[in-house]
Amino acid sequence: MTDRTWLFTSESVSEGHPDKVCDRISDAVLDAYLAADPNSRVACETLATTDHVTIAGEVRGPDDVRQHVEEIARQAIKDIGYEQKGFSWKTCAVNNLLHEQSADIAMGVDEGSKGEEGAGDQGIMFGYACNETDELMPAPIQFSHRILRMMAEDRKSGKQPKFGPDAKSQVTLEYRNGKPVGLDTVVVSTQHMEGLSQDEVRELVKPYITAVFPNDWSLPDDRLIVNPTGNFVIGGPDGDAGLTGRKIIVDTYGGAAPHGGGAFSGKDPTKVDRSAAYAARYLAKNVVAAGLAEKCQIQLAYAIGVPEPVALYVETLGTGRVDTDKLAAKLREMMRLTPRGIREHLDLLKPIYARTSAYGHFGREPDADGGFSWEKTDLADELARSFGATQAAE
C-alpha cells in the first residue's frame, strides 16, 4: 500500500448557475421570514427558466412577508448580476405560489410538553472534516469553490466585466497515501460577453488558476480546459432551467463524503435536513481540530416528530486516535442533538442563509453576526483534554 496514488475530482458552480439562482431566491425568502419572526417555518422551492421564476412551498410566519416575495426574488437576481436578454431581474415574470404549512406536519414538529419539537422529517444527515486544508475540508471542492468565488468577486466589482454570472469549475487532484500532492486537471466553463474567442476566455481565466493553487503545484497547459464547447454567451436560467436543491454535492464535500439526500436551501432550521447536517459538520470539524483524527465522518438519523436522533455514528476512517464509541458518547454529552438543541447551540434562528447558497455551506469563515456558526472549533480544546491529547489542532 506504500506510495499508492489516485486521482479525485470535485466540481463547483457559481452563484449564477441556474440551480444556484434558485437556491439563492429560496434562502432569501427564508431570511425574510426569519428576520420578521425567528420562529417562522419555511420550506421554499424555486424554479427558474427563460424570463420566469416560480416560487412554491409551505410557510408559517408573518403574512406581510408573502406580499414581498416578488421583490425579494428580483433583488436576489439583481445581486447575482442578471440583467440580460432572456433573464433579467427587471423583466422576468415571478409567480408566487407559497401557501400555509400543513397542519399535520405542524402537529408533529411543534413544541411538546417537555419543551422539545420533533424532527421535521425522517432522514439521515452526514458531516465530514479532514485535515487536507486549513478549513478542514477536502481539497478538490475547496479549490473549485475558490476559483469561481474569485472570478465572481472580480466580475461584480467591475475588475473583470467580461465574465458573465454563470460558471462551473472542476478540479482533479493527485493523491499519494491519502494526501493531495499536486494538480492533474482543471476545467472551467464561464459565461462571457459576446465576441470573445475561446482563447481569449482562456487567458482571462488563467490568472485565477495561478492565484488559487500552491506555487509548487504546476499544471501543464493542456490540462487546463476552458469553455470546451467553444462559446458560452447564453447562460443562467435562459440556457438551462434551474431548481432549488439540485447541487447538494457542490453544497457539501464534493463527493469526498456521503450525503444524506436532503437539500438545504429554502428550509428553516427546524428541518433536520439542514440543521442536523450543520451539526454533524460542526462535530466532525471539532474532532479533527482537536487532533483526535485526520478524518472524521458523522452520521445522524431522525424520525419525523421525534426529538432525539435515533442514531449517531462516528467513523474516523482509519485515522482515529481514540475509541469511536467513547468519542460518540462524548459528542452527545457536549451537544444536545434535538432540533431545538441544535438551533440553540449554533444560534440558527437568524437571517443568515442567503450567503450559504453559493460556494459551499462548509469550509467558510464564521461571521460576526452568527453566519456559518457550524464552522467554529470551540469544542476542540475540551475534546482534546477529554481524551488526553496534548493540544488541539490549529
Residue 1 pLDDT > 50: no
- Span 183-213, pLDDT tens digits: 999 999 999 999 999 999 999 999 999 999 9
Given a contact cutoff of 8 angstroms between Cβ atoms, the answer to whether 170 and 9 are in contact is yes
pLDDT at 105: 56
Measure the CA–CA gap between 299 and 169, rounded to whole angstroms: 28
* pLDDT, average across residues 130-141: 98
Delimit the domains of the chain by residue range: 5-12+139-234, 123-131+271-386
pLDDT band at 261 (very low <50, low <70, confident <90, very high): confident
pLDDT surpassing 70 at residue 106: no
Using 50, 70 and 90 to split pLDDT, how confident is the model at 118? confident
What is the mean pLDDT of the segment spanning 217-227?
95
Q: Give rounded-to-5 percent helix, strand, coil for the chain.
A: 35, 25, 40
Least-confidence region, from 6-20, 108-122, 154-168, 255-269: 108-122
The CA distances from residue 94 to 44, 70, 73, in Å, are 14, 6, 8
Q: Average of pLDDT values for 108-130?
A: 79
Whether residue 112 is predicted with pLDDT greater than 70 in this model: the reply is: no
Tell me: is residue 267 an annotated ligand-binding position: yes
Asked if residue 75 belongs to a known ligand binding site, the reply is no
User: CA–CA separation, 295 vs 1, rounded Å?
Assistant: 19
| Per-position DSSP letters for 102-163, written without gaps between them | PHHHHHHHS--TTS---BSS-EEEEEEEETTSTTSS-HHHHHHHHHHHHHHHHHHHTSSTTE
Binding site annotation covers 27? no
Q: Is the pLDDT of residue 113 over 50?
A: no
Q: Is 378 annotated as a binding residue?
A: no
**Is residue 114 marked as binding?**
no
- pLDDT tens string 10-45: 999 999 999 999 999 999 999 999 999 999 999 999
> Would you state the pLDDT for residue 392?
47
* Residue recorded with cell 416578488: 70
Mean pLDDT of 44-54: 98
Does 240 show up as a binding residue in the annotation?
Answer: yes
pLDDT-above-70 percentage for the chain? 94
> 62-72 pLDDT, tens per residue?
999 999 999 99
Write down the mean pLDDT value for the chain.
94
Q: Which residue has the higher pLDDT, 383 or 122?
A: 383
What is the structure's pLDDT at 293? 98
pLDDT for 110 equals 62
The predicted model scores a pTM of 0.95
CATH architecture assigned to 5-12+139-234: 2-Layer Sandwich (3.30)
CATH topology classification for 123-131+271-386:
GMP Synthetase; Chain A, domain 3 (3.30.300)
56-96 pLDDT, tens digit per residue, is 999 999 999 999 999 999 999 999 999 999 999 999 999 99
The pLDDT score that the predictor gives to residue 116 is 79
What's the confidence (pLDDT) of residue 390? 54
Annotated catalytic residues are 17, 19-20, 45, 58, 168, 232, 240-241, 246-247, 267, 271, 273
Distance, in Å, from the CA atom of 15 to the CA atom of 282, rounded to the nearest integer, reads 24
**246 annotated as a binding-site residue:** yes
Please check if 295 is assigned to a binding site: no
What proportion of the chain, given as a percentage, has pLDDT over 90? 90
pLDDT of 369 above 60 = yes
